[in-house]
Structure 1
Amino acid sequence: MTQTDIFGQGMFDVTPEGGQLQFMLEEQVDSGPSSALSDARQSIDDLILTSRRYRESKTYQEFLDFVSDMRDLAPFNAAMVDIQMPGARHVLSAHEWLEQHRHVPKPNAQPLVILHPFSPLRVVFDVSDVEPLEGARPLPADLVSPLRVRMEPAIATERLAHLRSNAMAYGIRVQEQVFGSNLAGRARRSTIGGTTQRPGARNKGPEEVRLRYEVTLNGGLDSPTMYLTLLHEIAHIMCGHLGTVCKDWWPDRRGASKEVVEIEAELVAYLVAKRQDALIEMPPYLDGYVKAERNMPPISLDRVLKAANVIDELTQRGRVATRVIKKKPS
């Protein structure tokens, strides 16, 4: 068990048991077992314990990083926000958005429920779910999504459609989900197995394809940002950062450092996009290395170029044939 004090707001008891995350925040008020606040806290504990997002050990550190970064919220409330909207960046109540920034929640905004002193619950909204009133000033740069990119929308929309369809040739299913403004997408090995369908070849019906990887994109992104995000996430897969299902496709490189895997994925996305639209700008992660004249970590340029070549093919018009894992003779 690891006990962690975060910014003096309370103690976490972090105990990975059974592949799940358990934690308890020190009570800040005296509440009996039957109080609304006690019931709310227990409900959140139960939600975290049963959440699939916390069953992978990698998620523990991501969770603690998120809670640490949300300095305006108590740790327990930060946890509640993370459960309801992964990737949330900055949350305020509707009244606070109006008073501080002359912004209001969008019609389809997702309310986020957190605890509040002297009352059981409080409703807040992420920056990705608010819009300006007439005369409102632009939001401060540190509140606005850092994920947006410059690319011709028409190019991005067309390439995005081709990539989503053709990625299924490798058993990569692409879906959308509502995330906060600070999370563009993520990729993982499929844990459910089975098959998924992709459009069939000309004059043929749908084709069953074995499901191997899942990519989830933030459905609230514009098409250029969503396209670059999908390039980045598929790059993680084809650079071997999530392991491999077939060594003839790409090697298993799960031992690479976080710095290496992020730079490789950014390089692949940048190379593919730059070949398709000269307006594309270098991602901030890479731009920081260039401007600071920092030495690049030991990336695999061979793997970056091979992944970029395959992904570029997937973004082209036309259907890519389904890849089959060939059984080696015994």
Structure 2
Amino acid sequence: MLILAPMHPVMLVYDLDSTEGKELPKNLTSFSKFEGGWESKWLKNLVENANRHKIRVNFKILSSSNSGFATRAGRDSEWKMRIVIHDVLDEPSRFGVLCHELAHILLGHLGGDKDLWWPSRLNLDHHSMEIEAESTAYIAIQQLELTGSSAAYISCYLKEGERLPEGASLDNIAKVSGKIGQMAKGKLPGPKPKRERQEKNQ
């Protein structure tokens, strides 16, 4: 892959999939693996409810070291946000990664939206965002009795004995994990645009 780098015109980098050598540690190859009593409707419901929030979910081939990501949609798009999940993952793992990426959006880590469907909390540092998103995903999947590698993932950002970063919010984690759990269990009505809410309240 070609990248731009400080003090260099361009540089070549390689993903893990393009290298050879000793077998990698399990925590690098199964960090997005989720298991348990699985029902396909959970993933289908979560994707459909995300779409109703103008969050587009795509499944594409990424790499073994990139299970998914969330980003803002383009200005000319009908969507507010976009999530891409690694297409090779099995359904429970797709679901677990989707919970994490959706949490980033609903926690406001990518900024707010004009309809105020989620807050803007861009002031958080990267560690706080990752701890919040994975904690939210962990609670959501626990509601469905799934298991994953959330504890190991969070430990990369929060060492034993350390306190939760000052900006991280347990209240937001609880609210968003509950919402994602509801979005997985059944189809919910889509939120109303700001203008429609204002007209209804008049």
- TM-score, normalised via structure 1 length: 0.53
Task: Give the Å deviation of 1:273.
Answer: 0.4
Q: 1:153 to 1:217 in 2, by over 3 A?
A: farther
| Alignment partner, residue 76 of structure 2 | 193
| Alignment partner, residue 89 of structure 1 | 16
Q: What CA distance in whole angstroms lies between the structure 2 residues aligned with 1:244 and 1:322?
A: 17
1:264 counterpart SS class: helix
Quick one: which amino acid aligns to residue 181 of structure 2? D
Alignment of 1:170 with 2:39, yes or no, is no
Contact in 1 for aligned 2:56/2:82 (Cα 8 Å): yes
Contact in 1 for aligned 2:115/2:194 (Cα 8 Å): no
Q: What CA distance in whole angstroms lies between the structure 2 residues aligned with 1:242 and 1:233?
A: 10
Q: What CA distance in whole angstroms lies between the structure 1 residues aligned with 2:24 and 2:107?
A: 36
| Alignment partner, residue 89 of structure 2 | 221
User: Which consecutive unaligned segments of at least 5 residues does structure 2 have?
Assistant: none
Task: Give the Å deviation of 1:149.
Answer: 2.5
| Alignment partner, residue 118 of structure 2 | 250
Q: What CA distance in whole angstroms lies between the structure 2 residues aligned with 1:154 and 1:314?
A: 16
Name the count of aligned residue pairs: 194
Task: Give the Å deviation of 1:3.
Answer: 7.5
User: Which consecutive unaligned segments of at least 5 residues does structure 1 have?
Assistant: 5-11, 14-22, 25-74, 82-87, 102-138, 196-210
Q: What CA distance in whole angstroms lies between the structure 1 residues aligned with 2:5 and 2:63?
A: 28
**1:9-48 mapped onto 2 (5 Å cutoff):** 12-13=7-8, 23-24=9-10
Task: Give the Å deviation of 1:185.
Answer: 0.5
| Alignment partner, residue 20 of structure 1 | none
Instruction: Identify which of 174, 187, 190 aligns with 1:305.
Output: 174
Q: 1:144 to 1:302 in 2, by over 3 A?
A: closer
Choose 1 or 2 for highest CA Rg.
Answer: 1
Alignment of 1:266 with 2:149, yes or no, is no
Contact in 1 for aligned 2:42/2:184 (Cα 8 Å): yes
| Alignment partner, residue 48 of structure 1 | none
Q: What CA distance in whole angstroms lies between the structure 2 residues aligned with 1:297 and 1:164?
A: 30
| Alignment partner, residue 208 of structure 1 | none
- TM-score, normalised via structure 2 length: 0.82
Q: What CA distance in whole angstroms lies between the structure 2 residues aligned with 1:164 and 1:261?
A: 22
Q: What CA distance in whole angstroms lies between the structure 1 residues aligned with 2:128 and 2:174?
A: 15
**1:95-114 mapped onto 2 (5 Å cutoff):** none
| Alignment partner, residue 38 of structure 2 | 154
Alignment of 1:184 with 2:72, yes or no, is no
Q: 1:280 to 1:300 in 2, by over 3 A?
A: same
Runs of at least 4 residues off by over 6 Å:
none
1:173 counterpart SS class: strand
| Alignment partner, residue 239 of structure 1 | 107
Cα deviations by residue, 1:44-89 (Å, 9 ceiling, x for unpaired): xxxxxxxxxxxxxxxxxxxxxxxxxxxxxxx42x1xx4xxxxxx32
Quick one: which amino acid aligns to residue 171 of structure 2? D
RMSD over aligned CA atoms reads 2.8
Cα deviations by residue, 1:242-277 (Å, 9 ceiling, x for unpaired): 111146422210111001100000011001001111
Q: 1:223 to 1:172 in 2, by over 3 A?
A: same
Cα deviations by residue, 1:170-224 (Å, 9 ceiling, x for unpaired): 10110011111010111111115343xxxxxxxxxxxxxxx11110011111222
Q: What CA distance in whole angstroms lies between the structure 1 residues aligned with 2:154 and 2:110?
A: 21
Q: Tell me which of the two structures has the higher relative contact order, counting C-alpha pairs closer than 8 angstroms and 6 or more residues apart.
A: 2
Q: 1:143 to 1:272 in 2, by over 3 A?
A: closer
